[in-house]
Structure 1
């Protein structure tokens, strides 16, 4: 199992393909398996780097305070440990928080930036719906029924197309059960995301930026994409119809083509 020492802990990581480096950053409670519908196609064009964030997957899960700033520092140290000086950065949801923070703190290490299903956080972003927030707050226990777990995962998918995407729920539950995230680690990640706010700093991102969102996102409402677009100077916004928070899994072909076109054209 490939691991690399960085920022005081060991990170599980994978490298696929060749070409310009593209780093993929996951969301709350998700590990590198999240990219199973992206890696093969993206690796035809890029050297794709994926790693499990602090607190999830096969990366260490220290009992300490986590923050988005710490996750950004982790990302920088993982790249440095692999002698990567500059890369395209793509983050989804909490990974989008990390990507923003990374671009703000380490602009010299960012080529182009892609932000998916995310926001700038804080009181002026469009909040997570209360029902979804309640599910997220209960997620650290991991001791509920499979039915409850399936319902929780389903909120990340577009409601109208949910019946045809049951395989996505099956896959996520299967991966989570293979390597359960400890309650303390989930809560540390959750609190890190809850305290994030880049609203007054995100305008300093100078990297060319693509902002993607699913029209039916029931976790981070898609209106947040427009708010980010209005604040990041060199950015464009695309809303993907018929998808939710996990549009990368729901419409992988569309998503992969958008990513490739943006980074190569």
Structure 2
């Protein structure tokens, strides 16, 4: 079970699971901790996993004022310090990978290693056009289901649409007791759209693995490759046949890959 934790600047909803080396999971746009369920279930016998709702997602309230990547990275840092975690393997997905980049730059001592899934250093013109569409789509779609059906076209593989996974995820999202408001979605989206670490990534010192889905429309592999090439000694890998959220679609593949990376980092400590 999760709990609300006061980090000194903001209260965050947090779920912790397992025992072993510490892992911090940082969610993307609109995702609550439940998005990481395959990792919370699949890795908890070997790692102590911490996942949390970002500002304006799930049970964490949306504060006054603009959302920014540095502020959200500071939230993650404050959470680690509040939980007395000296350093963690940090895994960030999509917008959460933007937060993870800032965390590694602003609080390097807290980051034992870095996994960036579906990432970019700076939104390109396609990304900006896509997010402008999402911004008005969340208000003007004829229903929440219709909005999710459209939104998930960018997120999941054609396979997931064909085999019923997307329908199941939509049903779960609609049944979730803490839905994200349109305002919170738009304000998170605006923060992620302003992300830019393109001239600072060479300052990341943590061992880094960058993962991209071959079929990812939102953050295609060329953007992930640019991130990996900018971070000293970073590893880069494309997951064949996968899209934006392989940690949900093929959790066994994702979990095995990140665990292999963490074990290599620990062996080198």
TM-score by length of 2: 0.91
C-alpha distance 135-247 of structure 1, shift in aligned 2 (>3 A): farther
Tell me which of 141, 144, 152 is aligned to 2:142: 144
Q: 1:247 maps to which residue?
A: 246
Q: 1:103 maps to which residue?
A: 104
Q: 2:18 maps to which residue?
A: 17
Bigger fraction of residues in helix: 2
Distance 2:9 2:173 in 1: 26
Distance 2:125 2:132 in 1: 16
- How large is the RMSD of aligned CA atoms in angstroms? 1.9
Q: Which runs of 5+ in 1 are unaligned?
A: none
Task: State whether residues 31 and 58 of structure 2, in contact with CA within 8 Å, keep that contact through their aligned partners in structure 1.
Answer: yes
Distance 1:116 1:222 in 2: 10
C-alpha distance 96-243 of structure 1, shift in aligned 2 (>3 A): same
C-alpha distance 58-65 of structure 1, shift in aligned 2 (>3 A): same
C-alpha distance 242-213 of structure 1, shift in aligned 2 (>3 A): same
Q: 1:170 maps to which residue?
A: 168
1:56-115, CA deviations, whole angstroms, 9 ceiling, x for partnerless residues?
Answer: 100121132100001000001111111111111000000000000000011111101000
Task: State whether residues 63 and 184 of structure 1, in contact with CA within 8 Å, keep that contact through their aligned partners in structure 2.
Answer: no
Q: 2:57 maps to which residue?
A: 56
1:242 CA displacement: 1.1
Q: 1:128 maps to which residue?
A: 127
1:159 CA displacement: 3.0
Task: State whether residues 73 and 100 of structure 2, in contact with CA within 8 Å, keep that contact through their aligned partners in structure 1.
Answer: yes
SS at match of 2:127: coil
Query: Which shifted more, 189-198 or 151-160?
Result: 151-160
Query: Which shifted more, 217-226 or 101-110?
Result: 217-226
1:37 CA displacement: 1.5
Q: Superposition pairs for residues 24-39 of structure 1, below 5 Å?
A: 24-39=25-40
Task: State whether residues 33 and 175 of structure 1, in contact with CA within 8 Å, keep that contact through their aligned partners in structure 2.
Answer: no
Q: 2:202 maps to which residue?
A: 203
SS at match of 2:139: coil
Distance 1:126 1:209 in 2: 26
Q: Which runs of 5+ in 2 are unaligned?
A: 265-269
TM-score by length of 1: 0.92
Q: How many residues align?
A: 261
1:140 CA displacement: 4.0
Say whether 1:88 aligns with 2:89. Answer: yes
Q: 2:155 maps to which residue?
A: 156
Task: State whether residues 24 and 91 of structure 2, in contact with CA within 8 Å, keep that contact through their aligned partners in structure 1.
Answer: yes
C-alpha distance 187-129 of structure 1, shift in aligned 2 (>3 A): closer
Say whether 1:8 aligns with 2:9. Answer: yes
